[in-house]
Amino acid sequence: MINSATAVHNFIGIAPLQTEQLRNLLTLSQELAKGGGNAAYKNALANKAIVTLFYEPSTRTRSSFTLAAYRLGARTLDIAPDNSSLEKGETILDTLVSLQAMNPDLFVVRHSGNDVIKQMLARMHSPLVNAGDGSNEHPSQTLLDLLTISLHKGDISKLKIALVGDIAHSRVARSFIHAMDKLRCAELRLIGPEALLPDNFCESDVIIERDMDKGLAGVDIIMMLRIQKERIEEAKQQGGLLANPDDYFKLYGLSPKRLQLANPDALVMHPGPINRGVEISSEVADSPSSLILKQIEYGVFARMAIFLSLLDDECIKRVWG
């Protein structure tokens, strides 16, 4: 999405991207992952300063952005909100505008609010990258998921893909569904109980399935999702399926037996953090069918591509046209 006031590009969601732009980002990520681009871009962002500002916990995403910056020669300034002026009552927007006054080159922000990133955009003149906003979008995760799928399965248009679990509260799912609206896989199935996947969940071309065994039949990719407890009211967690991890696992957990219902060469994904024994068994998570650690590995390349598309003149032209 381009900020019309400043003509600066941002990466705040998959929804605002044109199909071609998403494809261009994926192609650049693939080049980097296959090694071709690494030497060429080693110092592409030397002297650039990137601020990361995470208002929600993160292990993978934050380190992945930081390592991506290092691999391109950039430096990062990692602000920890619990040790910043936010503790003294400053608003998030004031924090951001104050940091921006020091003229860093790019901001990476994660926040629990669904609108905060959009509000920030209006005040920014440096590029902004969304590292996950509430249950809205997690676009860099989707780029790395697409990269992982393309490297291990090839042409996405031929694949049947199932997303399983807490779809309603998942920004990972939402961004991925936006991507499939643009890139079109053969079939996208959403599997979960009504509490985590309402009947009217989305207008995209998806199949909603409550019975996991039926939903997994013949799929090529299974993407498991964590129950987003931090986004579900306490009261809703008390009753029914969510109260007991064993009950949940029985209906919506991925066990080796269930995995056999999918295609024989089906691969399993999960954005992490995984909850073993809740949505996925250890046997599956640690099996050769699991791409979980590959996703983390490729995430650095996807995030390098995002930085390059916003800060490197040649890549800006290549990706945004």
Interface with ligand NCD (CB under 6 A): 60-61, 132, 138, 141, 171-172, 226, 271-272
Q: Residue 118 or residue 318: which is nearer to ligand NCD going by CB?
A: 118
The residues that bridge with 190 in the sheet, in sequence order, are 163, 208
Q: Which residue has the tokens 């309603």?
A: 168
Which residues have CB under 8 Å from 7's CB, separation 6+?
none
Least spacing, CB of residue 138 vs ligand NCD, in Å: 5
CA distance linking residue 112 with residue 115, whole number of Å? 9
From residue 95, how far is each of 3, 47, 119 by CA, in Å? 20, 23, 13
Least spacing, CB of residue 233 vs ligand NCD, in Å: 18
Q: Residue 21 or residue 141: which is nearer to ligand NCD going by CB?
A: 141
Q: Residue 178 or residue 226: which is nearer to ligand NCD going by CB?
A: 226
Least spacing, CB of residue 226 vs ligand NCD, in Å: 4
Least spacing, CB of residue 172 vs ligand NCD, in Å: 5
Q: Residue 37 or residue 271: which is nearer to ligand NCD going by CB?
A: 271
CA distance linking residue 321 with residue 318, whole number of Å? 6
Q: Residue 38 or residue 58: which is nearer to ligand NCD going by CB?
A: 58
Question: Which tokens in the block code for residue 202?
Answer: 């989305």
Residue 36's Cα: distance from chain center in Å?
24
Q: Residue 153 or residue 171: which is nearer to ligand NCD going by CB?
A: 171
Strand 221-224 relative to strand 75-79: parallel, antiparallel, unpaired?
Answer: unpaired
Q: Residue 21 or residue 61: which is nearer to ligand NCD going by CB?
A: 61
CA distance linking residue 6 with residue 18, whole number of Å? 20
What is the DSSP code string of 48-114?
Answer: -EEEEEESS--SHHHHHHHHHHHHTT-EEEEE-GGGSGGGGT--HHHHHHHHHTT--SEEEEEES-S
Nearest CA to 187 among 167, 157, 210?
Answer: 157
Sign of the CA dihedral with 33 first, then 38, 44, and 45 last: positive
Least spacing, CB of residue 141 vs ligand NCD, in Å: 5
Question: Which tokens in the block code for residue 142?
Answer: 């989707």
> Amino acid identity, residue 31?
E
Q: Residue 24 or residue 135: which is nearer to ligand NCD going by CB?
A: 135
The residues that bridge with 160 in the sheet, in sequence order, are 187
